[in-house]
A and B are shown apart, each in its own frame.
Chain A
Amino acid sequence: MTIRSVFSRLDQERIVLAIAVLVFIIASVTLNGFLTAANLVNIVRSVSVLGILAVGMAIVIIGRGIDLSAVAIMAMSVAWYLQMLGDGTSQAMALVITLAAVLAIGLANGFLVAYADVPPIFVTLASGAFVFGFVRSQLITQDAVPVPPQHWIELLGKTRWLGIPIEVFLFTAIVFVAFLFLRFTKWGRYVYYAGDNPMAARNLGIPVRPMLLLRYVISAFIAFTAGILTASSLLSINTRVVNSTLLYDIVLVAVIGGIGLSGGKGGMRNVIVGALLIGIMLNAMTILDIPNLYQNLIKSTILLVAIIIDGVLNPRDEQTAQQGDI
């Protein structure tokens, strides 16, 4: 069983990469307007934002958690930030307040999971709904909040380097930093130990609970970054995205890339291949003009299949299950 999962794990990454390349080639040949400069820029842009969100999700999932509040944090923090700017709050003040709020949500998520022992799936589901409801009803006035003219976010969206949008570089940088963190820092290694066997990690003296806190805070800040990038390319942030399927896309990227939901497995390479496949697929479906309803149907089917395969490849035994599911 173990040898099989080692091989299948190696395979999953390659298979997903191969499928991504295959989909790309088929789409390039058959779809008009797929293999154009403008569309490719589009693809890398959407892959980048999705990928950045998936980095945060991946860090949480590797530590045997899940963050369903990521999209709510992403949209609502930026919406509130833009609203404050529009209302005339000073640049620095607005940023500081927003960052403090993001930190607070991350800490609250982490605290409830780590110290109150509430399963992360419920904590983040509730906190996401709370963040959305509270910000939408109390702090902002309309669904979509525009970026003020000539604001740095707008300039960020226009920044190109060698003709490539800035998101791509940011995604690369975030992936690289996350890779260094997970692989080469003490705290990064703790993520894997706690994800693999939280009880053993605790008994060994690894600070399991503070590290949980850290992961949810990281995830919240990454979500905020993704929100800023979304706003920079669309020049506004639409809070309705919270109720879209974006959250599932993120989980889909992580799971299909090969990050086991049972924790302790996978890394940044898995996020990259997952984001590539999903990004190319979504773009192809949009060009094909497949209605949203059907896109969702296809995505949910893929997610379901990916989770089932994940469950078969990385079975949880009874003991792991007792130690707390996601």
Chain B
Amino acid sequence: MDPIIQMRQITKAYRGVPAVKSIDFDLFRGEIHALLGENGAGKSTLTKVMAGVVEATSGEMRYRGQPVKFASPNEALQDGIAMVFQETSLVPSMTVAQNLYLGEEKFLNRLRGIYISAQQFLQSLNFPVDPTAVVETLGAAKRQMVEIARAVHHNAEVIIFDEPTATLTPEEKRHFFALMQRLKARGVSIVFISHALEEALAHADRITIMRDGEHVITDNAANFDREMIVRAMVGRALSDELYGKSRDAAKIRGAGNKVLSVEDISMGAVVRNNSFSIFEGQITGVFGLIGSGRTETFKVVSGIYKRNFLRGGEISLDGEPVRYYVPREAVKDGIVYVTEDRKSEGFFETMSIAENLFSGLLASGREKNAYVSMREMHDLAAEWRSTLNIKAINDNARVVELSGGNQQKVVIGKGLIQKPRIIIFDEPTRGVDVGAIAEIHQLINRLADQGLAVVVISSYLPEIMNLSDRILVCRQGRIVEEFSPTDATEEKIMYAAVH
């Protein structure tokens, strides 16, 4: 088989932190290649390099035997490499045909003309999509068909799918895989990223597994079975001295009082009949892959959503039913949510460290005086800067200028100043450097020792294994299994999460 894409020693680092490290990857002509791995394994980054969405830091890529370097996705598309993202890049308010021919409209653009040619084109692909339908009225599967049709229309020889089946119903999935076979029959090479192992086993010709930004194994799909894949996905080689050791059974904290219990809550399509409890004095780890509803569940609990269509269920705090419509009410009751997206909803970017930390006190309602003094602010900042070991020139340094780890410490500090009883960390170490990860983990442990009810949401298994006194696994909008750290293994947790 001759490879259409050859990648050699590809490395891509974000702010010095490598997301993929010296990867070699071959894609053969006319094959279906599945790319598997945990969240953060580097699958998306690797495919983005292929499709010109991001530029590799180092390494070489050959396409049809020629070395290439794409400056933009559009350049890659012109050369025949198309990427279909999880969130589609279609224009929702336009019709299917308009989307298909987006960017190549003639000066005098007759709609009738493009509808006719779109109709013929879609028929040739055997896609049951009406070219005059407005995209926002279509379901996820049909949207995907439009994206694929667009890729084929651009004569793509390579199509990359980023978790194509995540939003599809079983019936739609069947159509999708049939379509993939048809594309293959036309000689198109396909890469698809997936979390569903069965899909990869059933439909891929070859499978590549990645872990922590490194290539683990590539082989024919026929040579794999479920167990082998899971082991390859999680079996890490103690790459990080931070992780890897399983928890010492004696150090596992027992459950204190039950503070929060959630009964059967549902919201939209993401949270479905979810029930669980949170206890004081221990760390509850919540593991789930992206889209499993873990973040959404806790956002509902702490009132973060502006419009939350809770379709039933009950949340109780200390046995009393509660329902928070704004975060302020939750904060007053001692529930603090530390966001996973610190840039857009975590900190105040034009402001200093001191002002950011001070916001926690001001918002908590503990500051009874209407009068606030700058001295109070600086005292508070000095205290918390040393408690959290925030590295900055002084209090007046602006938060945007700090490293990811120090930014995260500021965001956590803001939450801790509010003196929470229940603190929910959503991906507390995302985009954080290794040194700061250890400090943040120590801090989280200290909080649990002090008797707080701590929740850590993470899609990084070692983090969950390392911190949790109790592990909840979330899948398809609900907690599906609970493990104690003594009998949990990464394999078991992954099984529960992907099934």
Interface residues of A in 176-222 (CB under 8 A from B): 184-187, 189-190, 192-193, 196-197, 199-207, 209
Tell me which of B332, B364, B370 contacts A187 (CB under 8 A).
Answer: B370
Residues of B within 8 A of A207 (CB): 328
Q: Is the CB of A205 within 8 A of B348?
A: no
Contact with B along A165-179 (1 / 0, CB 8 A): 000000000000000
Choose among A3, A200, A201, A202 the residue with the greatest number of B CB atoms under 10 Å from its CB: A200
User: Nearest Cβ distance between residue A87 and chain B, in whole angstroms?
Assistant: 41
Q: Is the CB of A197 within 8 A of B347?
A: yes
With contacts A199-B345, A203-B304, A319-B343 taken as known, whether A189 is within 8 angstroms of B362 at the C-beta atoms is yes
The reply on B309 being an interface residue by CB < 8 A is no
Q: Is the CB of B349 within 8 A of A197?
A: yes
| Bound Cα distance A10, B414 (Å) | 28
Residues of B within 8 A of A193 (CB): 348, 351, 359, 362-363
With contacts A2-B398, A204-B414, A206-B359 taken as known, whether A184 is within 8 angstroms of B371 at the C-beta atoms is yes
Contact with B along A1-35 (1 / 0, CB 8 A): 01100100000000000000000000000000000
Tell me which of B359, B371, B401 contacts A201 (CB under 8 A).
Answer: B359
| Bound Cα distance A193, B348 (Å) | 7
Q: Is the CB of A204 within 8 A of B327?
A: yes
Q: Is the CB of B360 within 8 A of A196?
A: no
| Bound Cα distance A2, B347 (Å) | 15
Residues of A within 8 A of B369 (CB): 186
Tell me which of A186, A189, A197 contacts B345 (CB under 8 A).
Answer: A197
The reply on A45 being an interface residue by CB < 8 A is no
Q: How many residues of A contact B (CB 8 A)?
A: 28
Q: Is the CB of B337 within 8 A of A203?
A: yes
The reply on B344 being an interface residue by CB < 8 A is yes
Choose among A199, A264, A265 the residue with the greatest number of B CB atoms under 10 Å from its CB: A199
Choose among A3, A186, A199 the residue with the greatest number of B CB atoms under 10 Å from its CB: A186
With contacts A185-B371, A193-B359, A199-B345 taken as known, whether A205 is within 8 angstroms of B332 at the C-beta atoms is yes
| Bound Cα distance A131, B32 (Å) | 65
Tell me which of B326, B348, B371, B418 contacts A200 (CB under 8 A).
Answer: B348
Contact with A along B197-227 (1 / 0, CB 8 A): 0000000000000000000000000000000
Q: How many residues of B contact A (CB 8 A)?
A: 37
Q: Is the CB of A199 within 8 A of B351?
A: no
Closest Cβ neighbor of A200 among chain B residues: B345
Residues of A within 8 A of B326 (CB): 202, 209
Residues of A within 8 A of B10 (CB): none
Q: Is the CB of A197 within 8 A of B348?
A: yes
User: Nearest Cβ distance between residue A118 and chain B, in whole angstroms?
Assistant: 14
Residues of B within 8 A of A264 (CB): 348, 350-351
User: Nearest Cβ distance between residue B408 and chain A, in whole angstroms?
Assistant: 14
| Bound Cα distance A323, B344 (Å) | 9
Q: Is the CB of A205 within 8 A of B372?
A: no
Residues of B within 8 A of A196 (CB): 348-351
| Bound Cα distance A200, B347 (Å) | 6
| Bound Cα distance A186, B373 (Å) | 9
Closest Cβ neighbor of B360 among chain A residues: A204
User: Nearest Cβ distance between residue A280 and chain B, in whole angstroms?
Assistant: 30
The reply on B346 being an interface residue by CB < 8 A is yes
Closest Cβ neighbor of A262 among chain B residues: B350
User: Nearest Cβ distance between residue B334 and chain A, in whole angstroms?
Assistant: 11
Q: Is the CB of A204 within 8 A of B331?
A: yes
Residues of A within 8 A of B332 (CB): 205
Q: Is the CB of A186 within 8 A of B362?
A: yes
| Bound Cα distance A203, B324 (Å) | 12
Choose among B327, B347, B373 the residue with the greatest number of A CB atoms under 10 Å from its CB: B327
Residues of A within 8 A of B401 (CB): 2-3
With contacts A2-B400, A184-B373, A319-B343 taken as known, whether A205 is within 8 angstroms of B364 at the C-beta atoms is yes
User: Nearest Cβ distance between residue A123 and chain B, in whole angstroms?
Assistant: 18
Q: Is the CB of A186 within 8 A of B350?
A: no
The reply on B268 being an interface residue by CB < 8 A is no
| Bound Cα distance A169, B326 (Å) | 42
Q: Is the CB of B372 within 8 A of A204?
A: no
Contact with A along B136-161 (1 / 0, CB 8 A): 00000000000000000000000000
Choose among B350, B364, B418 the residue with the greatest number of A CB atoms under 10 Å from its CB: B350
| Bound Cα distance A3, B397 (Å) | 10
Q: Is the CB of A186 within 8 A of B372?
A: yes
Q: Is the CB of A206 within 8 A of B347?
A: no
Contact with A along B150-182 (1 / 0, CB 8 A): 000000000000000000000000000000000
Q: Is the CB of A185 within 8 A of B331?
A: no
Q: Is the CB of B346 within 8 A of A265?
A: no
Closest Cβ neighbor of B347 among chain A residues: A200
Q: Is the CB of A189 within 8 A of B372?
A: yes
Residues of B within 8 A of A206 (CB): 328, 359, 362-363
User: Nearest Cβ distance between residue A90 and chain B, in whole angstroms?
Assistant: 35
Residues of A within 8 A of B418 (CB): 204-205
Residues of A within 8 A of B339 (CB): 200, 203
Residues of B within 8 A of A197 (CB): 344-345, 347-349
| Bound Cα distance A6, B350 (Å) | 9
With contacts A2-B401, A185-B370 taken as known, whether A205 is within 8 angstroms of B347 at the C-beta atoms is no
Q: Is the CB of A185 within 8 A of B360?
A: no
| Bound Cα distance A151, B95 (Å) | 66
Closest Cβ neighbor of B373 among chain A residues: A184
| Bound Cα distance A209, B343 (Å) | 21
| Bound Cα distance A323, B306 (Å) | 12
User: Nearest Cβ distance between residue A193 and chain B, in whole angstroms?
Assistant: 5
| Bound Cα distance A110, B414 (Å) | 28
Could you give 7 example pairs across A and B, Cβ below 8 Å? A186-B369, A189-B359, A192-B355, A197-B344, A204-B331, A204-B418, A205-B418
Given contacts A185-B371, A193-B348, A204-B363, 20 further A-B contacts (CB under 8 A): A2-B401, A184-B373, A185-B372, A186-B370, A189-B359, A193-B351, A193-B359, A196-B349, A197-B344, A197-B349, A200-B347, A201-B348, A202-B327, A203-B327, A204-B327, A205-B328, A206-B328, A206-B362, A264-B350, A265-B350
Interface residues of A (CB under 8 A from B): 2-3, 6, 184-187, 189-190, 192-193, 196-197, 199-207, 209, 264-265, 314, 319, 323
A-B pairs with lowest CB-CB distance, top 9: A205-B331, A199-B345, A196-B348, A205-B328, A205-B363, A319-B344, A204-B363, A206-B363, A203-B327
